Structure 1
Amino acid sequence: MTKVRDIIELFEQWVPTGYAESWDNVGLQIGNLNNQVTKVMTTLDVTEQIADEAIEKKADFILAHHPLLFQGVKQIEENDFKGKVIHKLIKHDISVYAAHTNLDIVNGGVNDLLADLLQIKNRELLVPSFTEKLYKFAAYVPQTHTESFIEAIGQAGAGHIGNYSHCTFRTAGTGAFKPLEGTNPYIGEQGKLEQVEEDRVETIVKEIQLNHIIETAKKAHPYEEMAYDILPMKNSGEVLGLGRIGEIEEERNLADYAEHVKKVFQLPFVRFVGDPYKVVRRVAVLGGSGKGYIEDAIRHGADVYITGDLTFHEALDAKEQGIGLIDPGHHIEQVMKVGVKEFFENNISKLPNKIEVISSEISTEPFQWK
């Protein structure tokens, strides 16, 4: 039986909650870790319509980009618009999980999905946020279990270097121990010194995954007490951040490129700022509300910056500085619905039981046009 905790553990191997900004509210928001999951529905937002859709389609786990519970909740009143949604979800045993800025930052997340649709090449981070800390994890494993141990920790995310996974180094040796009173040794007897042919298995682990890797290792290790070392490393980990910037294959003028963006995201219109005939080669994109990062786009040499929720003064200043802006709205982040669905479909074999994954068919775009 696949439980809520299994869905979360799998998803957080890709999108750890520790990647989220400090002001954000991500993770499990409604539900029980031990509840059974048979169908996951991905959505940008959680509204009453979305809750009704989940009920109708018998989805028991909603994975949303925008948190349903963002600020502190002092009361849950069923007549309140948000309280009504919460009551409905709880009544139908539907768990809700949010992945917000952590899904923006992670490789393959919202900003990469947007850049994929726009066919932006040679990508760089627009706003580097932090560098991952790395640790060396070394465990002493009886040689009869070395292969299964390496496979378990590799599947959990240990040993990733560039485009390689399951990277380890092993050294053969002899382990010695004496089980004392009250122990139940896998090998040996109480009161007798035991010697076992073991391998020291070393691998590299991201700080964000360290606790998960240790717990996985303990489950895969046959001994009552696993002997292991954790050593901080001076090696630089991966740099993560918001937004992406790169080049498009064929240059266009700004007006034509704005039309292209409109078609890519299937929008009724987009707003743009700048000289319509400005040549566009280098493009920056940041999903959601990115008006605070216009200077970063300028500093990285962007000809145009694509983001939502632009206001008059930011647009005017950008025009004076010569950078083009395209505002397709906040709702283009809905690309995560398909991206997250594909992640689960590609990793479904890692769950205890097969589940169904669907994307919400309801648009939560609040704006209308005439």
Structure 2
Amino acid sequence: MTSIADIVDALERAYPPELAESWDSVGLICGDPDAEVSRVAFALDCTQAVAERAVELGAQLLVVHHPLLLRGVTSVAAHTPKGNVIHTLLTGGCALFAAHTNADSARPGVSDKLAELVGITPGRPIRPVSAATIDKWGVFVPPADADELMSALFAAGAGALGNYRECSFRWEGTGGFTPEDGADPTDGEVGEHFTGAELRIEFVAPARLRRSLIDVLRSAHPYEEPAFDVVAQEDTADLSQATGLGRVGELPEPMTLREFTQQVADALPETAWGVRAAGDPDAVVRTVAVSSGAGDSLLGDVAKLGVDAYVTSDLRHHPVDEHLRAGGPAVIDTAHWASEFPWTSQAESIVAPLGVDTRIISIRTDPWTLSAHPHNRKEHQ
């Protein structure tokens, strides 16, 4: 039996919740984690039409990118828009799960799919983020107690480096101390200076484990006051494989902005919004940055990367104007839905191996339904 919890676990391994932006709300929105699931549906948004379609398909879980309850609500009564969606799903036996900015930053994630579609191999993020800040530890311990202490620390999560575990470095030295009144020394006597052989053992550990490792250290160390230091490390991740928002890559062959804009339009799902560009149509494009969804908050980061063009969505007049006047690269503006909907096939590929039936709901949830351009209009003289 495959449960909703099994599907959630697989999705959260691919899209770790800790990668989500602080303002975001990701994970299981409604439904019983222990419920059995045989069919999972995928969509970008959970609109009323999508919820009804998921129930019609017999899905027990609907996986979406945009969280239904991102902004606070005081009621999910059936007569409210969001409440009606929740009631439709639960009455139909369908849970709801969202992977949002965690899926944006993960590798592969939403922007990796966009990068591949527009013709670049996804490289470094536009704005890297670290899923796990690393601490470097140094612990002093008598040689006879070193192995037992390190076994306890390794069991608590210390010493992992990539595909290696129980990693450490140690060297011998001489420690010294003078116990004062009230001390209960393991070695030496109160009031007398003591020196003895000690090891300094260094290892790394995720910063999120710092508090728990300190507790383990104090519990397992033979001294009542163990000597140790913890130093937070700078992020030294390989940026080509780092997690974070957006991706940067190169086209196989250079082309003009006009040609590249058309290539983007041909690669993405069609919408009334279409695809538009700002910049010199004949400028040569080779290096490209992409960010799925609304991306004008990254314009400043993109301007520092030396790229020729930036593909994103929901761009606004003033930020783009100021970006170009400051010498930033050309920008290509797509519909929000078009830049992110292709992600649904990526999410489906994560769940399909779990032995459940999968369906992508192709309802276009882009809210724009019509665009118009003047024709046969004479220019004013």
| Matched residues, number | 297
Aligned to 2:99: 99
Q: Residue 326 of structure 1 aligns with which residue? A: 332
Q: Does 1:342 align with 2:349?
A: yes
Q: How does 1:33-112 map to 2 (within 5 A)?
A: 33-112=33-112
Q: 1:139 offset after TM fit, Å?
A: 6.2
State the Cα distance separating 1:338 from its structure 2 match: 0.2
Of stretches 78-87 and 314-323 in structure 1, the one that deviates more from structure 2 is 314-323
Aligned twin of 1:284? 289
Aligned counterparts, 1:347-358, within 5 A:
348=354, 354-358=355-359
Please tell me whether the aligned partners of residues 131 and 237 of structure 1 are also in contact (alpha carbons under 8 angstroms).
no
2:312 alignment counterpart: 307
Report the Cα distance in structure 1 between the residues aligned to 2:2 and 2:205, rounded to whole angstroms.
26
More strand by share: 1
- Confirm or deny: 8 A CA contact 2:18 2:131 kept in the other structure: no
- 1:180-235 per-residue CA deviation (whole Å, 9 max, x = no partner) reads xxxxxxxxxxxxxxxxxxxxxxx998677x8xxxxxxxxxxxxxxxx9xxx98977
Give the 3 Å change call, closer, same or farther, for CA 317–51 of structure 1 in structure 2.
Answer: same
| Deviation of 1:135 (Å) | 7.9
Between the aligned partners of 2:368 and 2:31, the Cα distance in structure 1 is 31
> In 1, are the aligned partners of 2:55 and 2:93 still within 8 Å (CA)?
no
How far off is 1:237 after superposition? 6.6
Q: Secondary structure of the residue that 2:71 maps to in structure 1?
A: coil
Letter in 2 for 1:296: D
Question: Share of identical aligned residues, percent?
Answer: 32
Distance 1:73 1:291, change over 3 A: same
Q: Distance in 2 between matches of 1:81 and 1:275?
A: 44
* Residues 340 and 159 of structure 1: CA distance in aligned 2, closer, same or farther (over 3 Å): farther
SS of structure 2 residue aligned to 1:5: helix
What CA distance in whole angstroms lies between the structure 2 residues aligned with 1:68 and 1:232?
A: 41
Aligned to 1:185: none
Q: 1:126 and 1:266 mapped to 2: Cα distance?
A: 24
* Corresponding residue number in structure 2 for 1:114: 114
C-alpha contact 2:295 2:312 (8 A) present in aligned 1: yes
SS in 2 for 1:344: helix
Are 1:273 and 2:288 matched, yes or no? no
Conservation of the 8 A alpha-carbon contact between 1:318 and 1:324: no
Question: Would you say the 8 A contact 2:160–2:166 is kept in 1?
Answer: no
Q: Is the 1:63–1:97 Cα contact (8 Å) retained in structure 2?
A: yes
Post-superposition offset of 1:339: 0.3
Show the counterpart of 1:129.
129
Post-superposition CA distance 1:37-90 (Å, at most 9, x none): 111111100011111111111001011100011111201221222211111111
| Map 1:242-281 → 2, pairs under 5 A | 242-267=245-270, 269-281=274-286
Contact 1:267–1:328 under 8 Å retained in 2: no
> CA offsets per residue over residues 231-278 of structure 1, 9 Å max, x none?
989775744210111211111111111111000113353111011111
**Partner residue of 2:2?**
2
Aligned residue identity for 1:12: E
* Aligned mates of 2:243, 2:315 — CA distance in 1: 24
Superimposed CA distance per residue, residues 153-188 of structure 1 (whole angstroms, 9 cap, x where no aligned partner):
9xxxx9783xxx5x4569xxxxxxxxxxxxxxxxxx
Moved over 3 A (4+): 167-170, 203-208, 231-239
What CA RMSD, in Å, does the superposition of the two structures yield over aligned residues?
A: 3.1
Amino acid of the residue matched to residue 267 of structure 1?
E
Relative to 1, partners in 2 of residues 1:131 and 1:33: Cα closer, same or farther, differing over 3 Å?
A: closer
Gaps of 5+ in 2: 137-149, 168-202, 210-219, 221-228, 372-381
The DSSP-based 3-state class of the residue aligned with 1:103 is helix
TM-aligned CA distance change 1:135 to 1:97, over 3 Å: farther
Where does the alignment leave 5 or more consecutive residues of structure 1 unmatched?
141-152, 171-202, 211-226, 349-353
Cα distance in 2 for residues equivalent to 1:340 and 1:298: 31
Shift of 1:366: 1.0
- Identify if the C-alpha distance between structure 1 residues 110 and 204 changes in structure 2 by more than 3 Å, giving closer, same or farther: farther
